[in-house]
Amino acid sequence: MRRPIVAGNWKMNLDLAAGRDLIASIRAEYATAEPVEVVVCPPTPYLFPAAKALDGCEIRLGAQDIYYTKSGAYTGEVSAEMIAETGADFVILGHSERRHTIGHLEDDRMINLKAHAARRAGLTPILCVGETLAERDAEKTLEVLTFQLTAGIVGLDVSGAKDLVIAYEPVWAIGTGRNATPAQAQEAHAHLRAELRRLIGAAADNVRILYGGSVKPDNAGELFAQADVDGGLIGGASLKADTFVPIIRAAVAAAV
Ligand code: 13P
């Protein structure tokens, strides 16, 4: 059985004091040994203080991006090895904001190089895939997912749960308040699982596939109840314990 993950992607939000307060509040509510793995992904400068704030508890730390070489003349970039030294276990890769919004406009080749770099440093990649509204309207959703998944994991050795996590994040649902319906999420996740089986065989059953895009306390339960939805990657609602903790509880309820 797959252990669900609820991961908070803080994006470029909160300041140091607010981040510490948030971690303290989540810690106070989240008992250890629950059936769900909780991850927080603060901005890069807060990784070390966040690791300190998480010391001694089971909540895990993730970064929001890496560069793919170990070191060198890449001003402003941060390597997977540097991120691993902060105590992070996960790294989000290929987030739609990096694919579509931020100046770099990352492509699948770059994302694949980063996935290899993450694994080289012992980090678990959370590979984000998802279609735009135009692609959904053109009925290209499954095709886009197949391409992004296949290209993203080329050459990656995947057997256990720590080797890879996928996040299905439909671009039209991110930060819009418009979540995929549970049926739309399940269709996409089942497709990703089937494609994973084609690519990596039985290990596909070990890979957690998270849903992301306007997950809130009131829709988390029905999304997490879907057979191939193994938790969520949460943006806006991960910034307050009042909304993040109920989402963790919804995942716990769906898991037991
Ligand atoms: P929202 O939950 O704010 O829609 O963001 C989702 C997301 O992008 C998580 O990575």
pLDDT greater than 80 at residue 195: yes
Whether 247 maps to a domain, the answer reads: no
Beta strands in the chain (DSSP E): 5-9, 37-41, 60-63, 90-93, 124-129, 165-168, 208-212, 231-234
Residue 148 sits in a domain of what CATH number?
3.20.20.70
Which atom of ligand 1 lies closest to the CA of 179? 4
Which atom of ligand 1 lies closest to the CA of 95? 10
| Residue minimizing CA distance to atom 9 of ligand 1 | 235
Residue that has been written with the tokens 């303290």 in this structure: 24
Whether 176 maps to a domain, the answer reads: yes
Exposed/middle/buried for residue 134 (C-beta within 10 Å: 0-12, 13-18, 19+): exposed
Q: Tell me how far CA of residue 140 lies from CA of 109, 190, 197, 251, in angstroms.
A: 20, 16, 21, 30
Give me the chain's average pLDDT, please.
Answer: 96
- Are the C-beta atoms of residues 3 and 36 closer than 8 Å to each other? yes
Whether 51 maps to a domain, the answer reads: yes
In the chain, the N- to C-terminal Cα span, in Å, equals 11
- Rounded distance from Cα 11 to ligand 1 centre (Å): 9
Whether 122 maps to a domain, the answer reads: yes
| Residue minimizing CA distance to atom 2 of ligand 1 | 235
**Model pTM?**
0.97
Whether 137 maps to a domain, the answer reads: yes
- Are the C-beta atoms of residues 9 and 95 closer than 8 Å to each other? yes
pLDDT greater than 90 at residue 34: no
Give the structural domain span for 58. Answer: 5-239
**Pocket test residue of 174, 178, 218 for ligand 1, highest count of atoms within 8 A of CB:** 174
- Rounded distance from Cα 237 to ligand 1 centre (Å): 8
Whether 256 maps to a domain, the answer reads: no
List residues with catalytic annotation: 95, 169
Residue 40 pLDDT class (50, 70, 90 cuts): very high
- Are the C-beta atoms of residues 217 and 13 closer than 8 Å to each other? no
Which atom of ligand 1 lies closest to the CA of 11? 10
**Pocket test residue of 234, 244, 247 for ligand 1, highest count of atoms within 8 A of CB:** 234
pLDDT greater than 80 at residue 103: no
Ligand 1 pocket, Cβ-based, cut-off 6 angstroms? 9, 95, 169, 174-175, 212-215, 233-237
Average pLDDT score over residue span 133-140 = 96
User: How many structural domains comprise the chain?
Assistant: 1
The tens digit of pLDDT for each residue in 168-188 reads 999 999 989 888 999 999 999
Whether 233 maps to a domain, the answer reads: yes
**Pocket test residue of 132, 214, 240, 244 for ligand 1, highest count of atoms within 8 A of CB:** 214
Tokens describing residue 159? 């057997």
How much is the pLDDT for 16?
Answer: 98
Torsional sign, CA 243, 65, 211, 225: negative
Rounded to 10 deg, the angle between the 241-255 and 217-224 helix axes is 20
Quote the radius of gyration of the chain (alpha carbons, Å). Answer: 17
The tens digit of pLDDT for each residue in 151-168 reads 999 999 999 999 999 999
Average pLDDT score over residue span 198-203 = 97
Whether 225 maps to a domain, the answer reads: yes
